[in-house]
Amino acid sequence: MKNILEQPSDLRDGAIPFGSFHHDDFVPALERAIESARAELARIKSVKDPTFENSVRALELAGQGVSRISSIYFALFNAEADEPLQALAQIISPKLSEYSNDILLDQELFQKIKAVYDAKETLSLNQEEKQLLMESYDQFTQNGALLSDEDKEKLRKIDQELSSLAPQFAENVLKSSKIFELWIEDVEDLKGLPDSVIEAAREAARSKGRAESWLFSLDAPSLVPFLRYSDQRELRKKMWMAYNGRAFGSEYDNQGVIRRQVELRDARAKLLGCTNHSEVVLRKRMARSPEEVFEFLNRLKGAARSAAVRDVEEVSAFAKTLSHAGPIEPWDFNYYSEKLKESRYGFNEEDLRSYFQLENIIDGLFEHGRRLFQLEFKEVSDLPVYHPSVKTIEVKSQETGQYLGLLYLDLFPRPTKKDGAWMCTLREQGLHGCELKRPHVSIVCNFSMPTSTRPSLLTHREVATLFHEFGHALHALLSQCTYPSLSGANVYWDFVELPSQLMENWTKENESLSLFARHFETGKTIPSDLIEKMKASERFQSGFMTFRQLRFAVLDMAWHTVAPSKIGEIDRFEKETTREYDLLPVIEGTNTSCSFSHIFAGGYSSGYYSYKWAEVLEADAFEWFKEKGIFDREVSSRFKREILEKGGTEHPMILYKNFRGREPNLNGLLKRDGLLPPTKQDSYP
């Protein structure tokens, strides 16, 4: 019987035949794809006269079957994975690591690439070809090609072990999250919670056969409003402790996984001639060294510290006026912060929810794609999906009718999906074989489910999240590159968040909100006074939120710059590292690192700072949109042409300067967040 994963898809545009393959198909399909790729690599090694075409280009296109199968697997691993599928990661990840090392540590292959690289000045290459040559050469030299055979073998063993640790970390976080359930039997314990949250909890309980109860979980649509609105302090504490204690000291403890990952990453860095893991990572970032990252973070810390301290003091003082006794604990902060915001601005986040029906938000999202980038979105029903709630959208150019790609929308939580929101690429734009193909991408979120009486109603934060992931998707869908490894969002990680964070800005503008924010019952457009209240509150506690992000970034950098021998206990190291950033009491039994999936399971190691780095870029970019008009065709076309279409074909600073006409400026972010003194001027790092 043929393995469908090994066959070219006969669906339109080669769409993935979800539902036609089984868990047991992945490993044999991957093994045969790797075997086929090795034959392609052997042909490259056999060439007598290395050229760009027969070596660099050939290497780029080798092993595309491996990429396809692994992309499908990891998309499902994150979004639709039962335990058998999760368990396959311990087999698949090491195989992929071995395959990658077999390429990067192959001296014959490297010599072919090096021969072309050494002759680069004599070659007539276009910009993308030059970039691919440089990236190919750097990938070899920065991943062990120049090591001795003995050290190559050490590197291979390190990478093999590392490849199994990230899935293990993610699995521990997922399992420790899903085992927690807060059951409420007494209606008094629901006081303070919005009706929509109560109804969703009732629906969750019914799904488990307890129709007279309410069920709350650690999924964001349940957790976030509970901590923000529940009047029951002890229950807030229970939820907060469970969330912040995930994978820490339980049967799914990640402390050993962290320690081993950090040790291996450090050992790998030493083999590659670097002081630490951060040095290795930052060789391919806009921030070129750990020192540059720390300098950037310290500048933000200096700008935000006094505001952050003031934010906490204001909440503490306000809580006392509501008869709160004692210090503000972490499970109190969001609760009293929300009440302070409502008191100060006459504005409650829940006031917005009735205007943010998911179906309308999706329509508005696509309308932004049309107005900004002249795109057309059409839902199709003739392609299979991996879960019944997933929608498939065909994307075309409104101007030319050109087909641009497929977009999958997977927006609701379920037990088989990890928390959070992300965009994943199922097929990169670019050459596949001899044909330029368009991308297939997926936006995955965890929004509130519709109930028997209400549609899915989002918070403003969730609306911004959807626009954020749409920005990533646009980066992939609008790509006009030749080589998949340089297309779409395959850019430096401290540049990749620019399109996504930029798109969030449209969720805060009157002209934008009027396109999609309509009351789910009356159909009336969101009132302008409610928008103004929201905008007036936009800077509310920006100092505290900046410090929160800096805490994550500093913790990440510490894990990857401090020698493992000096770390000691996991929890103590975290406390010592973040002491200056902990504005609320540190609670025993909780730990950030053990569930910090971004850096231990998501590829952001020594890269979490990039969220703030990209905020500088997007704030500076959106200033231009504001100056010219938020739907200005000239600015949006230039952003599309110079940023979205180019992928990683040039250095990101060159791309940004081509778009903006100058380097970005830190002032835009500080001004927007209310952290810039009137006379202060500051340049980008």
Residues near 516 by beta carbon (within 8 Å), at least 6 away in sequence: 360, 361, 363, 364, 365, 367
Which amino acid type is present at position 228?
A: R
Report yes or no: 456 and 447 within 8 Å, Cβ to Cβ. yes
Strand locations in 254-388, DSSP E?
A: 375-380
Report yes or no: 106 and 40 within 8 Å, Cβ to Cβ. no
pLDDT of residue 677: 63
3-state secondary structure of 396: strand
Q: Give the C-alpha separation, 521 to 81, whole Å.
A: 36
pLDDT of residue 451: 87
Q: Give the C-alpha separation, 558 to 553, whole Å.
A: 9
Nearest to 144, CA basis, from 154, 132, 131: 154
Report CA-CA distances (Å) from 429 to 100, 128, 383, 488: 21, 14, 19, 7
pLDDT of residue 679: 46
- Beta strands 435-437 and 430-432: pairing type? antiparallel
Tell me the CATH architecture of domain 4-104+106-146: Up-down Bundle (1.20)
Task: State the angle between helix axes of 233-244 and 220-229 in degrees (0 to 180), rounded to the nearest 10.
Answer: 140
pLDDT of residue 682: 47
Q: Computed from CA positions of residues 590, 591, 592, 595, in that sequence, does the dihedral angle turn out positive or negative?
A: negative
Which amino acid type is present at position 683?
A: S
pLDDT of residue 452: 84
Residues 160-172: what's their mean pLDDT? 95
**Ramachandran quadrant class, 278 (left: phi over 0; alpha: psi -120 to 50; beta: rest):** alpha
Question: Which residues are 525's β-sheet partners?
Answer: 518
Nearest to 648, CA basis, from 436, 475, 405: 475
Residues 206-228: what's their mean pLDDT? 95
Residues acting as catalytic residues: 469
- The structure tokens listed for 386 are 């991996």
Report yes or no: 502 and 621 within 8 Å, Cβ to Cβ. yes
Find the Cα–Cα–Cα–Cα dihedral 188, 190, 195, 201, rounded to 10°.
-130
> Is the predicted pLDDT of residue 176 greater than 60, yes or no?
yes
Question: What percent of the chain lies above the pLDDT cut of 70?
Answer: 99
Residues 602-615: what's their mean pLDDT? 94
Q: Give the C-alpha separation, 391 to 456, whole Å.
A: 15
Task: Express each pLDDT in 50-85 by its tens digit.
Answer: 999 999 999 999 999 999 999 999 999 999 989 999
Averaged pLDDT of the chain: 95
- The structure tokens listed for 616 are 């500088």
Q: Give the C-alpha separation, 458 to 236, whole Å.
A: 21
**Ramachandran quadrant class, 192 (left: phi over 0; alpha: psi -120 to 50; beta: rest):** left
Task: Express each pLDDT in 416-438 by its tens digit.
Answer: 998 889 999 999 999 999 999 99
**Which pairs from 550-554 meet CB under 8 Å and 24+ separation?**
550/297, 550/300, 550/301, 550/304, 550/581, 550/612, 551/578, 551/581, 551/582, 551/592, 552/592, 552/596, 552/598, 552/608, 553/293, 553/297, 553/608, 553/609, 553/611, 553/612, 554/297, 554/578, 554/581
Q: Computed from CA positions of residues 639, 641, 645, 646, in that sequence, does the dihedral angle turn out positive or negative?
A: negative
3-state secondary structure of 63: coil
Residues 611-619: what's their mean pLDDT? 94
Residues 32-56: what's their mean pLDDT? 97
- The structure tokens listed for 603 are 């590829």
Q: Give the C-alpha separation, 549 to 554, whole Å.
A: 9
Nearest to 327, CA basis, from 233, 231, 226, 191: 233
Nearest to 306, CA basis, from 676, 14, 38, 682: 676
Residue 419 has phi, psi (to 5 degrees) of: -70, 165
Q: Give the C-alpha separation, 66 to 303, whole Å.
A: 47
pLDDT of residue 552: 98
Which band of pLDDT confidence, cut at 50, 70 and 90, is reported for residue 348? Answer: confident
Task: Express each pLDDT in 393-411 by its tens digit.
Answer: 999 999 999 999 999 999 9
Question: Where do the structural domains in the chain lie, given as residue ranges?
Answer: 4-104+106-146, 180-244
List, as one string, the DSSP characters of 593-617.
Answer: GGG-HHHHTSS-TTTTTHHHHHHHH
Could you count the other beta carbons within 10 Å of the beta carbon of residue 46? Answer: 10
Q: Give the C-alpha separation, 103 to 476, whole Å.
A: 26
> In angstroms, how far apart are the furthest CA atoms of the chain?
82
> Is the predicted pLDDT of residue 532 greater than 80, yes or no?
yes
pLDDT of residue 349: 81
What does the angle CA 375 – CA 378 – CA 381 come to, to the nearest 5 degrees?
155
Report CA-CA distances (Å) from 424 to 22, 263, 472, 606: 21, 29, 9, 21
Nearest to 437, CA basis, from 377, 487, 490: 487
> Is the predicted pLDDT of residue 684 greater than 60, yes or no?
no
Q: What is the pTM of this model?
A: 0.89
Residue 209: burial class (beta carbons within 10 Å; 0-12, 13-18, 19+)? exposed
Report yes or no: 430 and 466 within 8 Å, Cβ to Cβ. no
Which amino acid type is present at position 39?
A: A
Task: Express each pLDDT in 571-605 by its tens digit.
Answer: 999 999 999 999 999 999 999 999 999 999 988 99
Residues near 392 by beta carbon (within 8 Å), at least 6 away in sequence: 15, 379, 380, 381, 383, 385, 406, 407, 408, 409
List, as one string, the DSSP characters of 403-452.
Answer: EEEEEEEE-S--TTS-SS-EEEEEE-SEEETTEEE--EEEEE--PPPP-S
The sheet with strand 440-444 has its strands ordered as 375-380, 391-397, 403-410, 440-444, 422-427
Q: Give the C-alpha separation, 16 to 68, whole Å.
A: 9
- The structure tokens listed for 653 are 């600073």
Task: Express each pLDDT in 489-501 by its tens digit.
Answer: 999 999 999 999 9
Q: Give the C-alpha separation, 47 to 9, whole Å.
A: 32
Report yes or no: 405 and 419 within 8 Å, Cβ to Cβ. no
Residue 137 has phi, psi (to 5 degrees) of: -65, -45
Question: What percent of the chain lies above the pLDDT cut of 90?
Answer: 92
